[in-house]
Structure 1
Amino acid sequence: MGVLLITHDLGVVAEAADDVAVMYAGELVELASTQDFFAAPLHPYSQGLMSCAPLVGNHEARRLPSIPGMVPLPSELPAGCAFRPRCPHTSERCRQPQSLAEAAPGHLVRCWRACPSR
C-alpha cells in the first residue's frame, strides 16, 4: 500500500516519507529518497525551499529568506526551465527543455547544472 502526501511542510516530509518528489509549476523537478534529498537537494528550487525552512532549535529572531518572484501562470510558462526567471543560477542553456536525469544513483533532477554531463 502506498500513500501520496502533498505538502509544503518539509518537517512532515522528513518524518513521514520514504521518497520525495518536488514539483514546480506542475512539473516534477527532483525525485530522490528522503535521506538523499535532505542530505543534498540538487535542483535550485529544492535548494531554495530548504533555505526557507526554519532551523529546529534556533530561537534567534530572524526573517526567513524567501525565493524572489512568483510562480508563472500555466499560460505564461517561460521557454525551457519554468524556474528560470527565479533561479539564481540561470544561463542561456536554461532556455532549452530539460528532462529528468540521474544526477546520483536513484536521485533524479531536471536541471543541467546538477547533471553537467548531459
Structure 2
Amino acid sequence: MTATTDLRKTVERFWATAEARHWDAFAETLAEDVVYTLPQTREKISGRDRFVQFYKEYPGDWHLRIERLVAEPGHVVSWIHAAVGLEEMYAISFFTFTGDGLINSITDFWPEPYEPPAGREHLSERY
C-alpha cells in the first residue's frame, strides 16, 4: 500500500496539473479505470481518457485552489476553491486509490449556496 503522504502528494499534483492544464501529467495521477461521480447532477464518468476529456472541455476560464487536504490510509479528502469567471464556489472531493497510489475514484460535491431558514439568527452569525 502507498503511504498516506504519497497519496496526499498525488492529490496535490492532481489539482496543480488541472489548474495548469498539463493534461498528460494530470492523466498520470489517474488509474486507467478511474470513476468520477457527481451526486448533484447524477453523472458518472468512467475511464481515464473520458475523465481527462471532461476536464479539458469544461467551459469557461476556471481556476482551482486547494483550501485543505485531509489524508488517511487509502483516502484523501480535498476542500477546494473554484472560480469560473466571476462565479466562486467551494467543493469537497473524496479520493480513493489503487494499491500503487493512482486515483481510482473521485466523488465531487459542489454545493449551491442558499440563504439559511428564518428563525435561527439567535444561534448563528453570518460571514
TM tier, shorter chain? under 0.3
**Higher RCO (CA < 8 A, seq sep 6+):** 2
Taking structure 1 as the reference length, what is the TM-score of the superposition? 0.27
- Structure number with the higher strand fraction is 2
Taking structure 2 as the reference length, what is the TM-score of the superposition? 0.26
Question: Greater CA radius of gyration, 1 or 2?
Answer: 2
